[in-house]
């Protein structure tokens, strides 16, 4: 993303995301959970780095995002914030730290900014969380909404299911998206949503939509980086593997082990001989 004058942005800000929508320029977001990968994605020019609560299933070995706590998130948010020179850093609010009240949500968001160094927070839900969006933006913290398949509600949604299908679904989701916009969110993630519904919401909103499994009609896209990099043994149908780091790393580890056992590593070049 570049500024309207054509010069490179030194730091992506909320207004750059807004202006990109006005220009019809797509924005990019990737998850990041640690310093070295965040530094690589930042250098690659990714506009926004999301410390998702997907840290739970992707990094910490949980079966889903539900067990993740704010205390667990903070070190990851800190590491990514330290790495990001250009990207806007967005921290997810994990399950259980914002639903009870606007006060609870604000306290959690403040921790992400004050202790983690985040520039913005994201959390799941539509109309029901608009008091939380108002409280957080009112305190000067930008908010990204999250609609469609919302993993923190997977138990009530009946598992990982595409949203936006069936009678009234488009209307309901559009109402939620408009409510988030009116409450002050600057962008909204649309996850696993019927592509025509996501495209419709994108048309209706003046703020950016960021799709994940929601088709090409969104203002930007987000992926979990391990899916993009081929790090796991499973990735969702909507993700594209741009690399095969999982198999490359396994091959590297096997070659290293074989060379240690055979004595080929360390060689004289890798040794201090005097």
Q: Using alpha carbons, select from 84, 96, 86, 141 the residue that is nearest to residue 114.
A: 141
- Residue 222 is a binding residue for ligand KIV (CB under 6 A): yes
Is there a catalytic annotation at residue 191? Answer: yes
Nearer to ligand KIV, 37 or 54 (CB): 54
Question: Would residue 184 be called left, alpha or beta, if left means φ above 0 and alpha means ψ between -120 and 50 degrees?
Answer: left
Are the C-beta atoms of residues 193 and 162 closer than 8 Å to each other?
Answer: yes
Q: Is 47 in the site for ligand KIV (CB under 6 A)?
A: no
* 227 binds ligand KIV, rule: CB under 6 A: no
Marked catalytic residue, from 171, 182, 191, 255: 191
52 in contact with ligand KIV (CB under 6 A): yes
- DSSP assignments along 41-61, one per residue: HHHTT-SEEEE-TTHHHHTS-
Minimum CB separation of residue 227 from ligand KIV in Å reads 9
* Core vs surface per residue 229-239: b (16+ CB within 10 A) or e: bbbeeebeebb
Cβ distance to ligand KIV smaller for residue 47 or 261 = 47
Task: State the Cα–Cα distance between residues 62 and 36, nearest whole angstrom.
Answer: 22
Angle between the N-to-C axes of helices 35-43 and 70-83, in degrees from 0 to 180, rounded to the nearest 10:
40
Query: In this complex, which beta carbon is closest to ligand KIV, that of residue 14 or of residue 239?
Result: 239
Stretch that binds ligand KIV, among 8-16, 34-42, 49-57, 83-91 (CB under 6 A): 49-57
Q: In this chain, which of 48, 83, 188, 189 binds ligand KIV, going by CB under 6 A?
A: 189
C-beta nearest to ligand KIV: residue: 52
Beta-bridge mates of residue 92: 122
CA–CA gap between residue 121 and residue 124 (Å, rounded): 11
How many residues bind ligand KIV (CB under 6 A)? The answer is 11
List 28, 81, 91, 92, residue binding ligand KIV (CB under 6 A): 92
Binding site for ligand KIV (CB under 6 A): 31, 50, 52-54, 92, 189, 191, 212, 222, 224
Enzyme catalytic residues: 191
């Amino acid at each position: 993303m570049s500024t309207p004058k054509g010069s490179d942005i030194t730091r992506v800000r909320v207004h750059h995301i807004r202006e990109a929508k006005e220009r019809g320029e797509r924005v990019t977001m990737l998850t990041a959970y640690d310093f070295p990968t965040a530094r690589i994605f930042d250098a690659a020019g990714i506009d926004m780095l999301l410390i998702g609560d997907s840290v739970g299933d992707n990094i910490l070995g949980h079966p889903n995002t539900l067990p993740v706590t704010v205390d667990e998130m903070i070190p990851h948010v800190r590491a990514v914030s330290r790495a990001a020179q250009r990207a806007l850093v967005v921290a997810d609010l994990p399950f259980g730290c914002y639903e009870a009240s606007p006060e609870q949500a604000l306290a959690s968001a403040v921790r992400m900014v004050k202790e983690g160094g985040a520039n913005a927070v994201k959390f799941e839900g539509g109309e029901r969380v608009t008091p939380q969006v108002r409280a957080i933006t009112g305190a000067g913290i930008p908010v990204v909404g999250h609609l469609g398949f919302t993993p923190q509600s997977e138990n009530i949604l009946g598992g990982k299911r595409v949203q936006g299908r069936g009678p009234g679904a488009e209307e309901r989701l559009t109402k939620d998206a408009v409510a988030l916009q009116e409450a002050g969110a600057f962008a909204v993630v649309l996850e696993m949503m019927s592509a025509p519904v996501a495209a419709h919401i994108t048309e209706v909103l003046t703020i950016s939509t960021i799709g994940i499994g929601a088709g090409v009609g969104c203002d930007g896209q987000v992926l979990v980086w391990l899916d993009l990099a081929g790090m796991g043994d499973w990735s969702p149908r909507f993700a594209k593997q741009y690399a095969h780091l999982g198999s490359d790393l396994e091959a590297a580890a096997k070659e290293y082990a074989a060379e240690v056992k055979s004595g080929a590593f360390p060689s004289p070049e890798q040794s201090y001989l005097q």
